[in-house]
Structure 1
């Protein structure tokens, strides 16, 4: 890898951390994407629907700008739509069950040294590793 190849992940990580920190400092709320998506859809008691919509629009705009200026990626979907829908529902259920997602627990919660976020992150990383092991080594499915 060249030195420039480390620049993009570093910049992205800094921007994620900065936006999450500013969201917490200025709004007093955790910048977890699942919670923001629920607020944007009106599924929570939190009244910050416009703020949540703005944050999500910024995430999408930032990703779009990065894709436009950094490199073009080719997206190829190799799984069946039914499998993707089932996986999405399972992830959504786990997100609600765990009161947060990777961004809420893994980025914001760990940065605040939250024991609950440490436990949640350890669990979902362990489950993800076990899923990859089972699908690749026991079942034989390759990406």
Structure 2
């Protein structure tokens, strides 16, 4: 990374803020119909869309830079999704914020790996991404059940 490129925290923060604005500034009846909520949490953003026809919009971004990624943090995020009666969620975490205990957190939280997106220097340049990206890890928990 050269001195003119923003670091991971800045880029993740920009992406998280864009997600928050998308979720909180949508006009009219659409947010209510989709069950859309945007929450600032632990220095990041958690978007929850209860009636998401694409199963892609409930996501958490920007976590791990102001507070460490812990089991409590991950279960709190899942709790936000569950409170909105979502069916799944995606945690987008920069590799630099994953703790050594990440495998234990994943197991204890009951989430499973859905996809891992590698970011090589060539791919980063082709898509305008920062070269520091390394890989982006997403976890999906889609086995939630509801009691009402």
Could you tell me the TM-score, scaled by structure 2's length? Answer: 0.29
**Larger relative strand fraction:** 2
**Larger relative helix fraction:** 1
Could you tell me the TM-score, scaled by structure 1's length? Answer: 0.29
